């Protein structure tokens, strides 16, 4: 067990935690109170958002996003033998292209409270 897995597996049972890490959707897939939600948007939108937020050129933002995407994909394939785009790894997928970040956050909280075995006991 690597350090990341050890930390995630020790924190998760405590509850009231948001764990953002590579592999959380695999490490905690059998935990009934875990909600797995990837936040997605079209690549061009993510480039624009990153460039604006970081004050960098869009070509640099594009390169960073491509590199981080490859790293995420490689990590999950290497250590967990899964494709991070596999929808069966997630409870729900949220696309922020047409909804705001605050609405996305509200949807996540509502989903957590409504799904059986998650937040509605």
Query: What's the pLDDT tens digit per position in 8-37?
Result: 888 877 777 787 877 889 888 888 778 999
Query: What's the pLDDT tens digit per position in 67-97?
Result: 999 999 999 999 889 998 899 999 999 999 9
Q: Confirm whether 85 is domain-assigned.
A: yes
Q: Confirm whether 118 is domain-assigned.
A: no
Q: How many domains does the chain have?
A: 1
Domain that holds residue 45: 3-111
CA distances to 39, 45, 60, 95, 102 from 25, rounded to whole Å, are 13, 24, 29, 17, 22
Q: Confirm whether 121 is domain-assigned.
A: no
CATH number, domain at 63? 3.40.50.300
Q: Confirm whether 23 is domain-assigned.
A: yes
Q: Distance between CA 31 and CA 52 in Å, rounded? A: 37
């Amino acid at each position: 067990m690597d350090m990341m897995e050890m930390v995630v597996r020790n924190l998760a049972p405590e509850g009231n935690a948001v764990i953002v890490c590579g592999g959380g959707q695999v490490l905690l897939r059998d935990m009934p109170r875990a909600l797995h939600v990837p936040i997605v948007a079209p690549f061009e939108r993510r480039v624009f958002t990153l460039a604006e937020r970081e004050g960098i050129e869009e070509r640099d933002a594009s390169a960073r996003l491509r590199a981080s995407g490859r790293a995420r994909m490689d990590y999950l394939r290497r250590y967990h033998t899964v494709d991070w785009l596999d929808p069966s790894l997630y409870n729900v997928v949220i696309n922020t292209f047409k909804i705001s970040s605050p609405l996305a956050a509200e949807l996540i909280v509502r989903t957590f409270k409504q799904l059986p075995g998650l937040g509605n006991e």
